[in-house]
Chain A
């Protein structure tokens, strides 16, 4: 298939049917070099506008990226000599003006634009650039290190709030506080949260928080706004003031999607000022339920203890009774044994079998014939009494 396609001459052209003689064939180097010259001559140094993609900064200091618009793209190279003037690296997606010269990278025969100047097209771009620079500086000083984040107090009692005294953020904070945990005290430290004075007043307010006694937590933030409105919270000195707070902090700037640099420096980040309060304060109803469950566990715990103890007491009582019983049993049976022996030895017992005892008047028992000469009186004791008798 492809073979037959290749065999077809391009429309409107009739290529030479035979390869040219050797001196007429260009080397690749000759071809690419020719192309490079014509590309460089086509426009010369030129300003273009486009979006940065596939940005890569190498250790050498050179940058490689593409500039594109919805239809086309061109690969760019920016040598170290020029990148140092830009400072911070450029994020993908940044729209820029670039001054550069289109050329051909001869080794690969690829089109390149060699860029000398890179300028973000808008304030957004500039702010983004500045923000990256600040972020890098904070990171360098370890202020973004997760290890330095402090945990928030469980039940804060006094909370400092750095925000505008008449903004929606403060209103939301007060409402949510009253709903969740009414016994807290909020100390509002007013600051401008947008405009040129904002960074300065925020820094001053944060320093003031550090002078307050017995404050457990600081919430810093503002409600939603344009990127420009929120930019004070990307300022390096504001971030450093947040980092310098003696107490744990929550940063809550704008809406869910906005992440400012104070969010990265603070101990915790909340998407909105209301969410910051939810993060800071437990729910009173939840806590009350917890207290109640502790109460019933306490009562149950004691009941269990006392039940155990009385069961143990009952067991001990049984044991005492058994022990005492055994101790009483022994003498009793011994007594019975003695009694038996006594009975066996009793002379009456012998008499009861039909024997009788002869006793002389002085009570001596007659044991031999000689004890009882004829004419002697004696008593004959039987089982039921004595009989006076006379020996013949």
Chain B
């Protein structure tokens, strides 16, 4: 997961649940329902993609004498 997609899984899932609830409610008109469905499908795809993302990355954070932070890959 990249920083720009940070937290978006939470957003995607939350929105998906809203959409499903609206679709399951009686009072959505068809145009709106179709719109919601399309949005739902793209969020579903995004969530699946994010879940399929690769290996956990482990990095080490160190501070140098000047107080600068350095992030390097961690060799466990």
Contacts and interface: CB of A to CB of B under 8 A. Distances in A.
Interface of A: 153-155, 157-158, 160, 165, 170-171, 174, 177-178, 181-190, 204, 208, 211-212, 214, 216, 284, 287-288, 290-291, 294-295, 297-298, 301-302, 304-306, 308-309
Nearest to B34: A302
Given A171-B76, A298-B16, A301-B20, A185 B57 contact: yes
A291 B51 contact: yes
Contacts of A171: 76
B65 interface: no
Contacts, number: 119
A233 to B, nearest CB: 20
A88 B75 CA distance: 45
Contacts of B55: 178, 182
B53 to A, nearest CB: 4
B58 A186 contact: yes
Interface of B: 1, 3, 5-7, 9-10, 13, 16-17, 19-20, 22-24, 26, 28, 30, 33-34, 37, 40-41, 44, 47-48, 50-51, 53-63, 69, 71, 74, 76
Contacts of B26: 308
Given A188-B61, A301-B37, A183 B1 contact: yes
A216 to B, nearest CB: 8
Contact of B37 (A178, A181, A302): A302
B33 A305 contact: yes
Contacts of B58: 174, 185-186, 188
A294 B40 CA distance: 9
Given A306-B33, A309-B30, 12 more contacts: A157-B3, A165-B60, A165-B74, A182-B56, A183-B56, A185-B1, A185-B59, A287-B51, A291-B13, A294-B17, A298-B16, A305-B28
Contacts of B16: 291, 294, 298
Contacts of A155: 7, 9-10
B51 A183 contact: yes
A277 to B, nearest CB: 10
A297 B56 contact: no
B45 to A, nearest CB: 9
Most buried by B among A160, A182, A284, A309: A182
B53 A183 contact: yes
A346 to B, nearest CB: 58
Contacts of B9: 155
Contact of A184 (B17, B23, B56, B61): B56
Given A211-B69, A212-B69, A291-B51, A304 B23 contact: yes
A287 B12 CA distance: 12
Contact of A188 (B10, B24, B60): B60
A181 B10 CA distance: 14
